[in-house]
Structure 1
Amino acid sequence: MAVLLARQLRNGEIGMMGASSEIPVAAALLAQCLHAPDLTVIMPSGAVNPRPGRLYRSSSDGRWFTGCEAIGTAYDLFELSENGRLDFMCYGGVQLDRFGNINLTRTGPFGEPPRFRGPGLANISMAVTAKRTLLFSTAHSPRTFVERVDYVTAPGHLSGGTQRRRAGIATAGPQVCITPLAVFGFPEPEHAMTVSSLNPGIEPGRVLDATGFALPPPPWPATEPPTGEELGALRAVVDRTGVLRS
Structure 2
Amino acid sequence: MSQVLPREILICTIARLLEGVRHVAVGASSPMPAAGAMLLRAMKEQVGAAPIRISILGSVEHNFFTNGSTELFDCAGQGRIDAFFLGGGQIDGQANVNLVGVGDYPQSIVRWPGSFGAAYLYFVVPRVILFREEHSPRVFVEKVDFISAPGTSDPGIHRTGGPYALLTSKGLFQFDKTRPGFTLESVHPGHDLDEIRAATGFDFLHDAAPPVTATPDNAMLALLRGRVLDELEETYPAFAAEMRRDGAALPVL
Assess same fold via TM > 0.5. Answer: yes
Question: Runs of 5+ in structure 2 lacking a partner?
Answer: 1-9, 231-239, 247-253
Aligned residue identity for 2:34: V
Match of 2:212 in 1: 222
Deviation of 1:165 after TM superposition, in Å, equals 5.1
Instruction: Measure, in 2, the Cα distance between the counterparts of 1:186 and 1:108.
Output: 26
State yes or no: 1:109 paired with 2:104. Answer: yes
Change in CA separation of 1:167 and 1:206 when aligned onto 2, cut-off 3 Å: farther
SS in 1 for 2:32: helix
1:137 maps to a residue whose letter is: R
Of the three residues 39, 43, 48, the one matched with 1:34 is: 43
Query: Aligned residues, how many?
Result: 220
Distance apart, 1:42 and its partner CA: 1.2
The residue type paired with residue 116 of structure 2 is: A
Residue among 108, 121, 125 paired with 1:126: 121
Cα 1:219/1:81, change in 2 over 3 Å: same
* Residue 174 (structure 2) aligned to one of 179, 182, 185: 185
Distance, in Å, in 2 between the alignment partners of 1:176 and 1:145 is 14
What do residues 8-44 of structure 1 show as CA deviations (whole Å, max 9, x unaligned)?
A: 1135511211232111111111110113661111122
* Matched letter for residue 82 of structure 2: D
Query: Which stretch of structure 1 is more off in the superposition, 33-42 or 170-179?
Result: 33-42
Once the two structures are superposed, what CA deviation does each residue of 1:213-235 show, in whole Å capped at 9, x if it has no partner?
12335321221112212222111
Partner Cα separation in structure 2 for residue 128 and residue 91 of structure 1: 12
Moved more, 98-107 or 4-13: 4-13
Residue 208 of structure 1 aligns to a residue in which SS?
helix
Alignment TM-score, normalising by the size of structure 2: 0.79
Q: Which amino acid counterpart does residue 213 of structure 2 have in structure 1?
A: T
The RMSD of aligned alpha carbons is 2.1
Give the Å deviation of 1:121.
Answer: 2.9
Counterpart AA for 2:28: A
Conservation of the 8 A alpha-carbon contact between 1:235 and 1:242? no
Determine if contact 2:98/2:144 at 8 Å carries over to the other structure. Answer: yes
Q: Structure 1 pair 206/236, CA: closer, same or farther in 2 (3 Å)?
A: same
How far is the alpha carbon of 1:242 from its aligned partner? 3.6
- Residue of structure 2 aligned with 1:196, choices 178, 185, 192: 185
Do 1:23 and 1:244's aligned partners in 2 also have CA atoms closer than 8 Å? no
Gaps of 5+ in 1: 45-59, 158-163
- Aligned 8 A contact 1:87 1:130 in 2: yes
Identity, % of aligned positions: 30
Of 151, 166, 171, 1:156 maps to 151
Residue aligning to 2:72: 77
> In terms of mean alpha carbon deviation, does 202-211 or 166-175 score higher?
166-175
Contact 1:31 1:37 in 2 (8 A): no
Deviations 1:51-75 (A, max 9, x none): xxxxxxxxx3xxx21x446342133
**Whole-Å Cα distance in 2 between the matches of residues 4 and 18 of structure 1?**
18
Q: Distance in 2 between matches of 1:146 and 1:72?
A: 38
Matched residue type, 2:197: L
Q: Indicate if the aligned counterparts of 2:103 and 2:109 stay in contact, CA closer than 8 A.
A: yes
Match of 2:142 among 147, 151, 163: 147
Task: Render the CA deviation track for 1:129-183: whole Å, top value 9, x for unaligned.
Answer: 11121111110000000111111111212xxxxxx25261422411111111110
Alpha carbons of structure 1 residues 133 and 203: separation in structure 2 relative to 1, 3 Å? same
